[in-house]
Structure 1
């Protein structure tokens, strides 16, 4: 992803799939797939450099584990989530079939056997500090309200 695409998604996320990352209160790492204008924490949009380097880091991780549990099987759509879970990330997907009218949350799709923790990251400090921290526990809190995501931020 280049900076121009990042800014286009930032300005108008409708129709774009966008992956972002956050820590939970235990230091575990979650990956969130969003689309159709779902709310993304404002902290994610603050810097293309921080986001791009974080994204490249997580994409570059070599999968070592198998997913502990597939929580919702959608044929043909779980491969990305499985790959992230193999690297120790909790994989969430934005759930809405009606643009948030009745369903408007991130749902846990795959959880890792062994979670990757903030302390395990070999990522520059500025990129770690740029990632949002949510007042939830990935794996326990399986649905995270999209519209309330900013209220869950720990500063």
Structure 2
């Protein structure tokens, strides 16, 4: 539940209206769609298939981009997720199918066009 992750870094995935996939990093305060909490095991399983390096550094964003994902990081000062990386290549077809067939939240935005994403959910308090 949302209250269980307050103050903790928590990453979640979403698909945009065009089928692009993004990782959202909460920085301990960003809002998370309730749908994510209903499918945590699926989020964890999908995350295991994404080759990521550079944990704990800004290089992690490049890692997600190289895996074919957009990446957004929460900025509390503006109450929005800000794009910090965009794909440098396409998602592998197997991973793309898994992500798109999953129950990930679908957002009515286009990640290539959105530098900032504000969710219609209340921030974690």
Does residue 18 of structure 1 match 2:10? yes
> Does the aligned pair in 1 maintain the 2:21–2:99 contact within 8 Å?
no
TM-fit CA distance, 1:113: 2.5
Among 68, 86, 89, the alignment partner of 1:114 is 89
Q: Superposition RMSD on alpha carbons, in Å?
A: 2.8
Look up the SS of the partner of 2:49 in the other structure: helix
Specify the alignment match of 2:34 in structure 1: 42
Q: Normalising to structure 2: TM-score of the pair? A: 0.79
Return the alpha-carbon distance in structure 2 between the equivalents of residues 118 and 24 of structure 1.
17
Distance in 2 between residues matched to 1:36 and 1:52, nearest whole Å: 18
Match of 1:137 among 93, 110, 120: 110
Tell me, in whole angstroms, the C-alpha distance in 2 between the residues paired with 1:90 and 1:28: 8
| C-alpha displacement of 1:36 | 3.0
User: How many residues align structurally?
Assistant: 120
TM-score calculated relative to the size of structure 1: 0.65
Structure 1: where are the runs of 5+ without partners? 1-6, 64-75, 97-101, 151-155
Question: In structure 2, how many angstroms separate the alpha carbons of the residues matched to 1:149 and 1:124?
Answer: 22
| Gap runs ≥5 in structure 2 | none
> Secondary structure at the residue paired with 1:36?
coil
Q: CA, structure 1 residues 107+124, in 2 after alignment: closer, same or farther (shift >3 Å)?
A: closer
What residue is the counterpart of 2:70 in the other structure? 90
Q: Provide Cα deviations, 1:63-96, integer angstroms capped at 9, x if missing partner.
A: 9xxxxxxxxxxxx842111100001100110011
* Aligned equivalent of 1:103, options 75, 78, 83: 78
